């Protein structure tokens, strides 16, 4: 018998992995979130970056103010009108699939806009760009709410999403001024192309499945009716300031919107798989979150336009200097997005909404004392508004998405974004109209101060909604 028979079997030495599975998953989640936030930043940036370029577009293409206004209005109608449809399509067709498709559409439309030498082509590209954004925005938000479980992780991710929303809107003012002043207005469109296409190429590998398609037919009649309703509301509000609120195109737009809403209600009650199930609208979190998002859009859309006009026309700042004065608002919003989730964990999301909306109202109350010259106290006050706006933004998203099933998160994203977009359209038309009516000219200090009072009232209304939400019972998880 061989002695080797009883010898111990040779052992294979193993080395423990230096990467813990939890650490690997956190890195993957961070990369996914980074990609989503880059796409969201690009879409938000496009809201304000184009406004700075309108005078240059008008001069180079030899068109009137009415034509260049459609560069903004066409985008707003397509984006606002298609958001709910885009959100529901993300739920049914797959969130990653719609996210990638939206990025491709948005990027190619941006390329067409940057190369356009004809105003008709430019406006058409902006409409298509808005449609692409309406695919990206709700898909991005629903990817966040389904990737991260409800609780601190999701709140932190939505806080960063709020950072991007606040910074992107303000950064558009600054970046647009730099691009127009040192390059060409065409670059406010072309800057989107490499970012969007690279994100579209990386998304399938980084995001994974991102929500599989569901075997459920899309409610086409409901989609057409709600899209028409939102689009005609945005059109009516956008045209009301320039054409007159009693002009027949504006009145006809509101009549069509009302008829479409009524038809939508009838269609949803009879469709076996409605676009928006009535039980969702009965959830207080979604109702209150959407209401707060609308009021936030009203003060944010109106304030950014009004401050830009005030600084340039009353204080005679250049477009670039105007952007730099408004920039601290974005910085404050970014910081709020970073630390807001910690505040939410201590205060609760409803108390945080009461705090941030209340601080915003205080900021606008201070802006009613707008100076007739110099910076003080503009810089400090816009930072208050930035803090309140960013906190209210991510708070409204958390409130609306809490307790909702993953299968409905795309629709929730569409409804929140639609509410904010309609609010922004109303604010951008209403606040300058109030300022002009009060003074007979948009640059009048008295009229600007009156418009800031209206913005403060909208923030107080959001505070009241948050207070009402804080007294309601917490929703159960669907």
pLDDT for 413 beyond 50:
yes
Report the C-alpha gap between 352 and 345 in whole angstroms: 9
Average pLDDT over residues 106-134: 93
Q: Mean pLDDT score of the chain, rounded to an integer?
A: 81
Q: Are 231 and 138 in contact (CB under 8 A)?
A: no
CA 21/CA 30 separation, integer angstroms: 14
Hey, what are 345's tokens? 């964990």
Alpha-carbon span 204 to 199, nearest angstrom? 9
414, two tokens? 């569409």
- Pairwise CA distance, residues 302 & 194, whole Å: 31
302/414 Cα distance (integer angstroms): 22
Q: What is the pLDDT of residue 197?
A: 94
DSSP code of 313? I
Q: Is the pLDDT of residue 295 over 50?
A: yes
pTM of the model: 0.79
457-471: average pLDDT: 88
Question: Are 181 and 77 within 8 A, CB to CB?
Answer: no
317: exposed, middle or buried (C-beta count within 10 Å: 0-12, 13-18, 19+)? middle
Give the separation between CA 276 and CA 478, rounded to whole angstroms. Answer: 16
**Six-digit token pair at 53?**
């370029």
Return the structure tokens found at 448: 């600007």
Who wins on pLDDT, 429 or 118?
A: 118
What torsion do the CA atoms of 83, 85, 87, 90 make, to the nearest 10 degrees?
Answer: -140
Give the per-residue pLDDT at 174: 77
Rounded average pLDDT over 272-293: 84
Mean pLDDT of 14-36: 71
* Burial class of residue 90 (count of CB atoms within 10 Å of its CB; 0-12, 13-18, 19+): buried
Residue 83 has pLDDT above 60, yes or no: yes
Per-residue pLDDT averaged across 149-154, rounded?
Answer: 82
CA-CA distances (angstroms) from residue 158 to 176, 333, 393, 417?
Answer: 26, 13, 9, 14
Place of tokens 């195109």: 249
Q: Radius of gyration of the chain from Cα atoms?
A: 24
pLDDT digits (tens, 9 = 90+) for 167-212: 777 778 778 878 887 888 899 999 999 999 999 999 998 887 555 5
* CA distance linking residue 418 with residue 259, whole number of Å: 19
In the prediction, which pLDDT does 307 show? Answer: 79
Q: Which residues contact 373 (CB under 8 A, 6 or more apart)?
A: 315
Percent above pLDDT 90 for the chain: 22
Q: What are phi and psi of 216, to 5 degrees?
A: -145, 135
Residue whose C-alpha is closest to residue 466's, from 388, 414, 371? 388
Contact 10, 107 (CB under 8 A): no
CA distance 142 to 139: 5
Residue 222's pLDDT is 83
What are 101's two structure tokens? 């498709």
For residue range 300-354, what is the model confidence (pLDDT) as tens digits? 888 877 777 777 777 777 767 777 787 888 888 888 878 888 888 888 888 999 9
Residue 458 has pLDDT above 90, yes or no: yes
Buried b (16+ CB within 10 A) or exposed e, 58-89: beebebeeebbbbbbbbbbbbbbbbbbbbbbb
pLDDT value at 6 more than 60: no
pLDDT digits (tens, 9 = 90+) for 214-239: 556 777 888 888 888 888 888 888 77
pLDDT of residue 92 exceeding 60, the answer is: yes
Give the mean model confidence (pLDDT) for residues 45-68: 81
- Any idea what the Cα angle at residue 428 is, between residues 286 and 275, rounded to 5°? 30
Cα distance between residue 91 and residue 477, in whole Å? 18
Segment 376-412, tens digit of pLDDT: 567 788 888 989 988 898 889 888 888 888 878 888 8
* pLDDT at 360 > cutoff 90: yes
Q: Is the model's pLDDT at 478 over the cut of 50?
A: no
pLDDT at 475 over 80: no
Helices (H), 282-348: 284-309, 319-347
């Amino acid at each position: 018998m061989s002695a080797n028979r009883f010898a111990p079997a040779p052992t294979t030495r193993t080395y423990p992995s230096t990467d813990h599975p939890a650490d690997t998953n956190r890195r993957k989640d961070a990369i996914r979130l980074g990609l989503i936030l880059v796409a969201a930043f690009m879409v938000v940036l496009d809201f304000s970056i184009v406004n700075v370029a309108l005078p240059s577009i008008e001069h180079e293409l030899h068109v009137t103010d009415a034509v260049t206004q459609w560069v903004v209005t066409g985008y707003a109608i397509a984006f606002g009108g298609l958001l709910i449809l885009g959100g529901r399509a993300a739920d049914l067709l797959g969130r990653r699939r719609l996210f990638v498709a939206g990025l491709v559409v948005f990027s190619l439309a941006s390329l067409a806009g940057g190369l356009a030498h004809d105003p008709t082509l430019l406006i058409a590209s902006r409409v298509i760009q808005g449609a692409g954004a309406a695919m990206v925005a709700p898909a991005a938000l629903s990817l966040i709410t389904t990737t991260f479980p409800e609780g601190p992780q999701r709140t932190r991710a939505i806080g960063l999403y709020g950072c991007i929303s606040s910074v992107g809107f303000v950064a558009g003012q600054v970046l647009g001024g730099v691009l127009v002043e040192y390059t060409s207005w065409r670059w406010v469109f072309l800057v989107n192309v490499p970012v969007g296409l690279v994100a579209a190429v990386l998304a399938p590998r980084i995001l994974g499945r991102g929500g599989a398609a569901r075997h459920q037919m899309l409610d086409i009649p409901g989609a057409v009716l709600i899209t028409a309703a939102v689009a005609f509301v945005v059109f009516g509000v956008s045209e009301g300031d320039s054409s007159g609120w009693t002009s027949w195109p504006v009145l006809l737009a509101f009549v069509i919107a009302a008829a479409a809403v009524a038809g939508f209600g009838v269609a949803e009650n009879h469709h076996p798989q409605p676009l928006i199930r009535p039980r969702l609208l009965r959830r207080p979190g979604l109702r209150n979150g959407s209401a707060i998002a609308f009021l936030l859009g009203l003060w944010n859309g109106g304030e950014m336009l009004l401050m830009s006009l005030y600084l340039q026309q009353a204080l005679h700042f250049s477009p670039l200097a105007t952007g730099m004065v408004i920039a601290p608002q974005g910085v404050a919003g970014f910081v709020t997005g970073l630390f807001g989730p910690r505040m939410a964990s201590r205060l609760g999301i409803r108390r945080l909404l009461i705090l941030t909306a209340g601080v915003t109202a205080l900021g606008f109350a201070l802006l009613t004392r707008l100076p007739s010259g110099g910076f003080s106290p503009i810089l400090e006050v816009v930072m208050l508004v930035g803090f309140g706006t960013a906190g209210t933004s991510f708070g409204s998203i958390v409130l609306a998405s809490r307790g909702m099933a993953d299968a409905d998160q795309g629709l929730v994203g569409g409804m929140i974004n639609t509410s904010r977009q309609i609010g922004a359209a109303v604010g951008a038309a209403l606040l300058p109209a109030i300022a002009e009516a009060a003074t007979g000219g948009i640059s009048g200090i008295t009229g600007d101060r009156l418009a800031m009072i209206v913005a403060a009232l909208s923030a107080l209304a959001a505070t009241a909604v948050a207070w009402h939400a804080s007294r309601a019972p917490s929703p159960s998880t669907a």
